[in-house]
C-alpha cells in the first residue's frame, strides 16, 4: 500500500462558524486551491512522513494520540491529498516539472501580491507609496539621519504587508533613496518561508515584475553564484520564487524609489537555519556551508558591481496566532528586550553574534528573517548598521499577537 508523505505546506488553523479547521495551502502554487480539513486530523497529517501505510497510520494514531480512524477512512484521505497534489510522490513531481518549465519560459515572474498588499495600477501604487513616505517622514519619532558622505551598502526592510508595515518601509527606503537610484544592480535576499536548512539558498534566472515593468535578473551574476554553490542545489527549490512574497515586496519599493526606472536584480531566497542547543556559533560553524559560500560570493559581486544589498526580513512573531502565550505586559517586556538585543547586533553588523543570540534563546520569538539578515551582514563584513525604525504590528484582532519589524541601513 501507498506510504504517503505530506509535502511542506502552509497549514493554518481557521474557523468556519464554530468549527475549527486546518487550511492546507501549497506555497509552490502547484496545488490550485486550498484544502480544508477538521482540526482533529492534525496528528494524522503529522504522521504522514512516508514510513507508514493506511493500516500503520491507523495503529500509530491510536497508540500515540488516542484517536481512532479506520484504515479505510485514512485511505480515502490519502486519495484526496494525492489528487490535490499535496503528497510528495511521482504524481506531484510530474506536475511540478511541468509548472517549473512554464515558470522558466514565462516572460517574467508574475506579481502575487498586487491587488492585496499593494495596488496593481502603477499610478495608484505610486500615489499610495508616496503618501506613505510623506506621512512616515512627518510622524514622530524622528528618523535617524545617514550622513551624505557615507556610502550606503545595504538595508534591511520588512516583508510584511504594506498596510501594516508602511511606516518602516517608507522610512528606510526614503533614507537610502539616492544609493538605489545610482545603482545599476541590486541584490535582494528574501526570506524563504518554506525553504529548509538543506536548501541553503535558492536562485532563479527569472526576472521579477512590478506594476512599473520588469526588473531584469543579472544572469551572469546568478550563474556565478550557482557555479559556486552547485547548480543542482541552487535551483532545486526554484519554484518557491513563484509563490514567495518577500523579494516581490522589496522589489516594488526599489522600483518606486527609482521612479519606475529599471535596474538589474539578483534575487536570492535563503531558507531556515538549523538552530542547535549547546553550541557556540563563535567557535563552531552551525551555518549551512552553502550559505557560507553564498555570503562570500555575494560580497564579491556587491563590491565588483557596486551593488547594494537588501535583506527582506521580519523580526519576531509572537502570541496565540503563532502558538505562543498572549502578549500581556510581561510578554511584551520580554519581546522588547529580545528584539533590542538583536537590534544591537544589527547596528554592529555582527552576523555571528546575531545568530548566537538566536541559538541562545532557541529563537523563542520566532524571528522568521534570521537567514536573510545573517546573509546580508556576513556579506557586508565590516559595515555598520543604523536602525531607522522599529515597529510592533498587530497579528490578531484582539491585540494579543504581534509581528515586529525593523528598517536598518548599512554603510
Residue 217: Cβ within 10 Å count = 21
pLDDT per position as a tens digit, 314-365: 999 999 988 899 999 999 999 999 999 999 999 999 999 999 999 899 999 9
- Per-residue pLDDT at 398: 86
Which three cell numbers, joined as nine digits, stand for 222? 546568478
Least Cα distance to 143 among 179, 174, 166 occurs for 174
More confident: 253 or 15: 253
Rounded to the nearest integer, the mean pLDDT of the chain is 92
Give 156's pLDDT tier (boundaries 50, 70, 90): very high
Fold of 10-102: Arc Repressor Mutant, subunit A (1.10.10)
- Per-residue pLDDT at 54: 94
**Where do the structural domains in the chain lie, given as residue ranges?**
10-102, 108-410
pLDDT per position as a tens digit, 192-214: 988 765 667 899 999 999 999 99
- Per-residue pLDDT at 28: 81
pTM of the model: 0.90
- Per-residue pLDDT at 170: 97
pLDDT per position as a tens digit, 239-276: 999 989 999 999 999 999 999 999 999 999 998 777 66
Ranges of H-type helices in 140-288: 162-175, 177-182, 219-229, 231-235, 240-243, 246-257
pLDDT per position as a tens digit, 226-235: 999 899 989 9
Across the range 4-8, mean pLDDT stands at 93
pLDDT per position as a tens digit, 31-85: 888 999 999 999 999 999 999 999 999 999 999 999 999 999 999 999 999 999 9
- Per-residue pLDDT at 14: 83
Q: Which CATH superfamily is domain 108-410 in?
A: LigB-like (3.40.830.10)
pLDDT per position as a tens digit, 273-301: 776 655 565 555 556 677 888 899 999 99
Amino acid at each position: 500500500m501507498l506510504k504517503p508523505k505530506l509535502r511542506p505546506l502552509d497549514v493554518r488553523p481557521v474557523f468556519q462558524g464554530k468549527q475549527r479547521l486546518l487550511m492546507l495551502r501549497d506555497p509552490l502554487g502547484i496545488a490550485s486551491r486550498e484544502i480544508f480539513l477538521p482540526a482533529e486530523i492534525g496528528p494524522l497529517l503529522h504522521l504522514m512522513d512516508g514510513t507508514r501505510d493506511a493500516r500503520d497510520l491507523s495503529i500509530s494514531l491510536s497508540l500515540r494520540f488516542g484517536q481512532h480512524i479506520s484504515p479505510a477512512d485514512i485511505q480515502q484521505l490519502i486519495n484526496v491529498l494525492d489528487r490535490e497534489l499535496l503528497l510528495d510522490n511521482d504524481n506531484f513531481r510530474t506536475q511540478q516539472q511541468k509548472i517549473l518549465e512554464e515558470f522558466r519560459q514565462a516572460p517574467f515572474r508574475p506579481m502575487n501580491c498586487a491587488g492585496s498588499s499593494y495596488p496593481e495600477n502603477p499610478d495608484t501604487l505610486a500615489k499610495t507609496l508616496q503618501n506613505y513616505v510623506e506621512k512616515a517622514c512627518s510622524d514622530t519619532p524622528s528618523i535617524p539621519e545617514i550622513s551624505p558622505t557615507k556610502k550606503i551598502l545595504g538595508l534591511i526592510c520588512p516583508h510584511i504587508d504594506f498596510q501594516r508595515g508602511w511606516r518602516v518601509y517608507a522610512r528606510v527606503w526614503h533614507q537610502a533613496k539616492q544609493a538605489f537610484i545610482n545603482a545599476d544592480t541590486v541584490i535582494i535576499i528574501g526570506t524563504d518561508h518554506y525553504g529548509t536548512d538543506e536548501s541553503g539558498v535558492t536562485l532563479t534566472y527569472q526576472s521579477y515584475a512590478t506594476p512599473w515593468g520588469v526588473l531584469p535578473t543579472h544572469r551572469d551574476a546568478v550563474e556565478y553564484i550557482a557555479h559556486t554553490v552547485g547548480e543542482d542545489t541552487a535551483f532545486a527549490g526554484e519554484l518557491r520564487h513563484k509563490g514567495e512574497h518577500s523579494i516581490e515586496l522589496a522589489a516594488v519599493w526599489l522600483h518606486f524609489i527609482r521612479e519606475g526606472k529599471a535596474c538589474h536584480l539578483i534575487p536570492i531566497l535563503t531558507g531556515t537555519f538549523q538552530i542547535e542547543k549547546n553550541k557556540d556559533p563563535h567557535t563552531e560553524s552551525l551555518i549551512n556551508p552553502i550559505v557560507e559560500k553564498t555570503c562570500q560570493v555575494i560580497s564579491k559581486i556587491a563590491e565588483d558591481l557596486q551593488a547594494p544589498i537588501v535583506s527582506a526580513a521580519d523580526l519576531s512573531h509572537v502570541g496565540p496566532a503563532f502558538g505562543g502565550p498572549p502578549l500581556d505586559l510581561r510578554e511584551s517586556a520580554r519581546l522588547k528586550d529580545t528584539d533590542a538585543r538583536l537590534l544591537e547586533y544589527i547596528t554592529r553588523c555582527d552576523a555571528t553574534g546575531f545568530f548566537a543570540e538566536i541559538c541562545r534563546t532557541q529563537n523563542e520569538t520566532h524571528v522568521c528573517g534570521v537567514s536573510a539578515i545573517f546573509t546580508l551582514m556576513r556579506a557586508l563584513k565590516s559595515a555598520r548598521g543604523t536602525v531607522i525604525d522599529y515597529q510592533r504590528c498587530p497579528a490578531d484582532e484582539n491585540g494579543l499577537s504581534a509581528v515586529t519589524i525593523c528598517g536598518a541601513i548599512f554603510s
